[in-house]
Structure 1
Amino acid sequence: MSATDFSSLPLTSELLQTLNDLQYSAMTPIQAQSLPAVLNGQDVIAQAKTGSGKTAAFALGILAKLDVKRFRVQSLVLCPTRELAEQVAEEIRRLGRSQHNIKVLTLCGGVPSRFQTLSLEHGAHILVGTPGRVLDHLQQERIDFSELSMLVLDEADRMLDMGFQDDLKAIISATPESRQTLLFSATYPPQIEKLAGSLMQEPLRVTVESEVQHSNIKQQFYKLEGTPREQAAMLLLQQFQPESCVLFCNTKRETHELYQTLKANGFSVLALHGDLEQKDRDQTLVQFNNKSARIMVATDVAARGLDITALDMVINVQMAHDSDTHTHRIGRTGRAGESGLALTLVSHQDDYKLSLLQDEISEDIHLLPLPDHAVLQQPPAKALMVTLQIQGGKKHKLRPGDIVGALTRNDQIPFDKVGKIQLQSMWSYVAVERSLGGKALQILNNDKLKGRSFRARSL
């Protein structure tokens, strides 16, 4: 039996069977180094980049210690963004599906708190949320942490960057001192070290180097030489024709301006930045993940912790302010063993950033010329799919099968032309091949789901 086999761990047969069913073949480095200590009840500081398998590391620790018969809050996971919190909660539910009657509740901003209050009144085993909303419920005395046995801080460095330090202190002070604490962070700056020192007892420190994770990512650097960044970005997009690509900018203004330029030039593009309302952020991510848009322009804070899968390429339209952020950006591509491509635009003003980055990269950085402007003569490619929004969701007892059944009934739309389906509380989203979007919309507006009529629209 290998040391990286999950069967080498003291996990229940039900958990091991679930891991096997989900095709978790072997532990990733962060899991192999941290899980034995986590399962032994030890405090752990784990430094690893996004995509390293850290969520499963603490999720398995939570599930292994959970007493389902004790209907009290036993574990709390704090995350910097709503998107990451929902991703973590979903992973815990997936891994814990063999343990009956587990209740995992997400507590995040951007949605009405009254629904969360009702759920809290009915109780929960595991809470996953953002510091601001968790603290709000705590101060309203809606949460009891007296039986909390495990606290997880996920992407702790980003929570501090976003100004959550006081909220974290207030939440932690309400938890039992006897709890086990796990801290996961992509970087380990002094403020993280200080935070760990104040809340952990003789923690095990685990570090997984990023070079191993990004060995399958090819990096290329392009010299601007007077070409406007917006035009340079279009040249690269037309040259490489990615099916899915994230373009990183350093500010919300730059993100919005690049989005407008790309859209005006016919590109299939979305924008993600801090000024968007939560419902607009949700719809942006749904459309990008289900291939209804090829390109997303984003800021670093907006893109941190997002569950973006199968990303072909990343373009750093502006160089990141530091090497850690650059590493995080390019780590969005090349996941799960797939190859990835990361392109970076460089101007004379970036010489200092480039020299710092060169110190972190084993290979020499060579600046390449931009593609020939002739590539702009061809029209940008359209997205493969279109997203339809249905005014009904989990609250209306809708299931993915109801939507697929309505669309494919009597061979109206072939099954393989229907893409991802995502259900939310009050809304559902379905991706359909672009050429069939109009027909699918007509079906959904004229047919019935669960015996009821629901309105649908194209995003």
Structure 2
Amino acid sequence: MSTAKFSSLALKPALLENIESLGYTQLTPIQAESLPHILEGRDVIAQAKTGSGKTAAFGIGLLSKLDLNSFRVQAMVVCPTRELADQVGKEIRRLARFTQNIKVLTLCGGVPFGPQLGSLEHGVHVVVGTPGRLQEHLRKRSLRLSNLKVLVLDEADRMLDMGFEEAITDVISYAPTHRQTLLFSATYTDPIREISQKFQFKPVSVSIESSHHDSDIEQRFYQVEKSKRINALAYLLSYYRPESAVVFCNTKRDCQDVASSLENSGFSVQALHGDLEQKHRDQVLVRFANKSCSVLVATDVAARGLDIKDMQAVINYELPWDPEIYVHRIGRTGRAGNKGLALSLCTEQELNRVKAIEEYQAIPVKWDEVAPFQMSHEPRFEPPMVTLWIDGGRKNKVRPGDILGALTGDSGIAGSEVGKIDIFDAHAYVAIKQGSVDKALACLRNGKIKGRNFNVRKSQWG
């Protein structure tokens, strides 16, 4: 826990006084790590979750850079959803209470354009907004960034999940190259590193997550008879109930058989193997990545390049011959500071493979037992999300912001109910939390996306 105080930072007296009047005295770990670099004007890439105090970190940073006599946009925060943008805007206003002159404006879709134009004409210091609406204002030249000093990408991983990479790139193209760029993300995936390389200059990396250790993955082994292997797998899935799990098989045929058996037994499951056409493979990966399918049964070849964050479990239906492949398989869980689970089934004939794994990892494996399990046709448990298919994509100029706007308009659903958005050439997919599916369908069917009506339905494949 950080013991540093805000008074130790080089802040303007009025800003410091206001921070302390809000009850902020001690810096949270992410503030202690990032604020000194932010105040020095360095670019920062910070790994921090909601609730870590990150908004105050970049909020204090950007407020300390403002020239209050110039009513031009000097700081901009880009957020994935309207709710987050509203929250960030309120927090910056609270931090800025020390002077009446600071103007903070929130620019989001789902609300009328006119009043936003009026506010921009009167002059604004800080803009907080969602990618789609910021794009619109920039294209109409109602928002100008020629005086921008600080750009913040908040919850950048969520923005990439929601398909906003093109929109973010477009928004940043309007900003001066000589600026400070702060990137905040809950995870440190390759796409996040790529965004950083594209838009930041010699960034300082700040992370309050523990680094990845083998101890982040709990490994358990189960000896079973060959004929009871599928029952044992069903038992483990029912017992641990992972929101996302990959089950590895050694052959395409086993992969298909295992997926069919699990589906017949009421699990939300899809198969991923080399015989799938690219179109079907895309659909399978969309549903698994957006958590509207809980179990993916895959071969090693088909799973290459599979990078799903928050994967809760990896299950070896069969152990691979090579212990290096075993380590590679289980390394897909337990990422970004999350605890992972690796469960392995093996028959008596495969015990030599277990011995090879023990030698390779230089630690003995932990054995556990499975209880007898009765396969049935009852649905086991529903995944948290449902995928909606939209009959319009890139060729129709449909962007993620258009879909999000149509879903979260005045009578729509909350942005927090919307998951990943994937845009393909001729269609798009959006993940919606189970409880909001009917309302989301009604929004998209009764409303318009890009001023047009598109066919929308629940995804039927898999």
User: Which category describes the TM-score, using the shorter chain as reference length?
Assistant: 0.5 to 0.7
Task: Specify the alignment match of 1:435 in structure 2.
Answer: 435
Contact 1:220/1:344 (CA < 8 Å) preserved in 2? yes
CA distance, structure 1, for counterparts of residue 400 and residue 377 of structure 2: 41
Task: Specify the alignment match of 1:360 in structure 2.
Answer: 360
Structure 1's unaligned 5+ residue stretches are 1-6, 8-12, 26-86, 100-210
Q: CA deviation at 1:280?
A: 1.0
Task: Specify the alignment match of 2:255 in structure 1.
Answer: 255
Task: Specify the alignment match of 1:195 in structure 2.
Answer: none
Q: CA deviation at 1:376?
A: 7.1
Given the alignment, which residue of 165, 183, 194 partners 1:92?
A: 194
Q: 1:378 to 1:223 in 2, by over 3 A?
A: farther
Q: Please report the TM-score for the alignment, with normalisation by the length of structure 2.
A: 0.54
Q: 1:226 to 1:93 in 2, by over 3 A?
A: closer
Amino acid at match of 1:313: A
Amino acid at match of 2:241: Q
Q: CA deviation at 1:246?
A: 0.6
Amino acid at match of 1:422: D
Amino acid at match of 1:275: D
CA distance, structure 1, for counterparts of residue 244 and residue 216 of structure 2: 17
Q: Does structure 1 residue 264 correspond to structure 2 residue 264?
A: yes
CA distance, structure 1, for counterparts of residue 415 and residue 393 of structure 2: 21
CA distance, structure 1, for counterparts of residue 390 and residue 342 of structure 2: 36
Kindly provide the CA deviation profile for residues 139-159 of structure 1, in whole angstroms up to 9, marking residues without a partner as x: xxxxxxxxxxxxxxxxxxxxx
Q: CA deviation at 1:410?
A: 2.5
Amino acid at match of 1:271: A
Q: CA deviation at 1:227?
A: 4.5
Q: CA deviation at 1:449?
A: 1.1
CA distance, structure 1, for counterparts of residue 190 and residue 277 of structure 2: 22
Task: Specify the alignment match of 1:370 in structure 2.
Answer: 370
Task: Specify the alignment match of 2:9 in structure 1.
Answer: none
CA distance, structure 2, for counterparts of residue 379 and residue 396 of structure 1: 37
Q: CA deviation at 1:427?
A: 2.6
> Secondary structure in 2 aligned to 1:283?
helix
Task: Specify the alignment match of 1:414 in structure 2.
Answer: 414
Contact 1:239/1:371 (CA < 8 Å) preserved in 2? no
Kindly provide the CA deviation profile for residues 275-331 of structure 1, in whole angstroms up to 9, marking residues without a partner as x: 111111111111111110111111101111112110111100010120110001000
Q: 1:375 to 1:255 in 2, by over 3 A?
A: closer
Tell me which moved more, 356-365 or 280-289. 356-365
Task: Specify the alignment match of 1:393 in structure 2.
Answer: 393
CA distance, structure 1, for counterparts of residue 287 and residue 274 of structure 2: 18
Task: Specify the alignment match of 2:273 in structure 1.
Answer: 273
Q: Does structure 1 residue 304 correspond to structure 2 residue 406?
A: no
Contact 1:248/1:299 (CA < 8 Å) preserved in 2? yes
Contact 1:236/1:371 (CA < 8 Å) preserved in 2? no
CA distance, structure 2, for counterparts of residue 377 and residue 444 of structure 1: 33
Q: CA deviation at 1:273?
A: 0.7
CA distance, structure 1, for counterparts of residue 373 and residue 293 of structure 2: 24
Contact 1:390/1:455 (CA < 8 Å) preserved in 2? yes
CA distance, structure 1, for counterparts of residue 348 and residue 380 of structure 2: 29
Structure 2's unaligned 5+ residue stretches are 1-33, 35-39, 50-188, 202-210
Task: Specify the alignment match of 2:338 in structure 1.
Answer: 338
Contact 1:248/1:298 (CA < 8 Å) preserved in 2? yes
Percent identity, please. Answer: 42
CA distance, structure 2, for counterparts of residue 373 and residue 228 of structure 1: 9
Contact 1:234/1:376 (CA < 8 Å) preserved in 2? no
> Secondary structure in 1 aligned to 2:341?
strand
Q: 1:379 to 1:284 in 2, by over 3 A?
A: closer
Amino acid at match of 2:199: R
Contact 1:422/1:429 (CA < 8 Å) preserved in 2? yes
CA distance, structure 2, for counterparts of residue 98 and residue 369 of structure 1: 50
Amino acid at match of 2:216: N
Q: 1:91 to 1:457 in 2, by over 3 A?
A: farther
Task: Specify the alignment match of 1:145 in structure 2.
Answer: none
Q: 1:252 to 1:389 in 2, by over 3 A?
A: same
* Number of residue pairs matched by the alignment: 275
